[in-house]
Amino acid sequence: MAAPELVGIAEIAEIAGVSKQAVNNWRLRYDHFPRAIQELQSGPVWNREQIEAWVRGHQGEATHVLSFINLKGGVGKTTTAVAVAEMLAQEHRKHVLLIDLDPQTNATVTLITEERWAEMDRDGRTVAQLFEDRLNPQQAPRFDIERAIERRVSTINDGIARLDLLPSSIRLIDLQDRIPMIALSGNFTANPLEILRAALQPVIERYDYIIIDCPPSLGTVTKNGLRISTGYVIPTIPDIVSTWGIYQIVANVEAFSRDIDRPIPPLGIVATKVQGNNLHARVMADLRARRLGRFADGGGLDQPVMFENAIPQTVAVARGADVEADIRTFKGKYGDAYTALHGLTIEVMKKCEAKKR
Ligand SMILES: Nc1ncnc2c1ncn2[C@@H]1O[C@H](COP(=O)(O)OP(=O)(O)OP(=O)(O)O)[C@@H](O)[C@H]1O
Ligand SMILES: [Mg+2]
């Protein structure tokens, strides 16, 4: 039998019509990427036939990028975004990147220790540094996407193998108002809405899911997240005040999506911190019937559907970083909310994967 024809990374890139960087990302992302059959001095080599078959079957499985948004603070955006990211990675073996766009850094410090964060912040390994570099184009850039991404984060299992984090920094507070000015600064031509997208380009292919935890606003930083989003999730407490801004979010995202000429559909509304009182029951019924406030009053937009799983208000989630809690397991970290968060993650995954074709 003739020996198989061997190909290296550069040839695989040529076969697939992509960059070598993309091939390296596939190797990291897909367990089913063929195993190299030999390590030569020039690098690993593969069997050409196996590679060709894989490339034919692969057909660019797109990365799902989901923003978790609500204009109201404290409605469980961070809690649900982090839980969904952890569960996609741990329970469904997806490669996941969580991006923290909120200067409050809540998602960051639930996934890594404050000491670790402080060290990363000093080293410019946060999204704040990314924006700061663009605001000071006369200085040498410090942000490096490969170094800024922290791998194996979360307290679950002392770190989840496929879960990565791009941290935020409180320094974003001072920067965020100046970000819209970037287009005007000096001879710099960067579009202030494209900064995150450009920075992620080398790594995006590595992930099945990118989950973005947004601040409670629709400013330039959030829009940087929406710019790359393939969909968004609206966590809300089922009460009047928390659901107030949902129409505004949907209208704004719709307008932004038209501006950039790219669909950003709402995946759904998820009820959070649900309590067994009459008010919550009534608002939940309106949400399920898709007749929330202005949507029902002929605002011109359809209310996004509800996720079936609603997240109950629980002691385990509220006590958060309690050292007594066994935060290394999902049951310890989320208590009675675990089942709903687990179900929500499956719903998110099914909706994303149904959209693929
Ligand atoms: N299901 C829940 N049960 C009990 N407490 C919860 C639940 N979900 C969230 N919380 C608590 O409510 C507070 C706000 O939650 P979270 O930080 O997730 O909201 P957020 O929308 O991200 O807030 P912000 O707008 O400040 O970013 C936190 O203290 C969190 O621990
Ligand atoms: Mg938050």
Query: Does any ligand 1 atom lie closer than 6 A to the CB of residue 87?
Result: no
Helices 220-227 and 246-259, packing angle to 10 deg: 60
Which residues does residue 96 pair with via DSSP β-bridges, in sequence order?
163, 209
The tokens 């766009």 sit on which residue?
101
Query: Does any ligand 1 atom lie closer than 6 A to the CB of residue 74?
Result: yes
Tell me which residues have their CB within 5 A of the ion that is ligand 2. Answer: 77-78, 106
How much distance in Å is there from the Cα of 33 to the middle of ligand 1? 39
Check residue 184 and give its pLDDT. 65
Contact between 101 and 168 under an 8 Å Cβ cutoff? The reply is: yes
Considering only CA atoms, which residue is closest to atom 5 of ligand 1?
318
| Cα gap 77→97, rounded to integer Å | 16
Check residue 357 and give its pLDDT. 43
Query: Does any ligand 1 atom lie closer than 6 A to the CB of residue 102?
Result: yes
Strands 64-68 vs 209-213: parallel, antiparallel or unpaired: parallel
Tell the burial category of 34 from Cβ atoms under 10 Å away from its Cβ (0-12, 13-18, 19+): middle
Query: Does any ligand 1 atom lie closer than 6 A to the CB of residue 105?
Result: no
Query: Does any ligand 1 atom lie closer than 6 A to the CB of residue 273?
Result: yes
Query: Looking at ligand 1, which atom is closest to the CA of residue 75?
Result: 21
Considering only CA atoms, which residue is closest to atom 8 of ligand 1?
76
Considering only CA atoms, which residue is closest to atom 18 of ligand 1?
76
| Cα gap 149→200, rounded to integer Å | 10
Query: Does any ligand 1 atom lie closer than 6 A to the CB of residue 78?
Result: yes
Query: Does any ligand 1 atom lie closer than 6 A to the CB of residue 319?
Result: no
How much distance in Å is there from the Cα of 39 to the middle of ligand 2? 46
Query: Does any ligand 1 atom lie closer than 6 A to the CB of residue 321?
Result: no
Check residue 159 and give its pLDDT. 94
Low-confidence ranges of the chain (pLDDT < 50): 323, 357
Tokens of 86: 């952890």
Which residues does residue 231 pair with via DSSP β-bridges, in sequence order?
66
Considering only CA atoms, which residue is closest to atom 13 of ligand 1?
74
Closest C-alpha to 222, from 231, 214, 233: 214
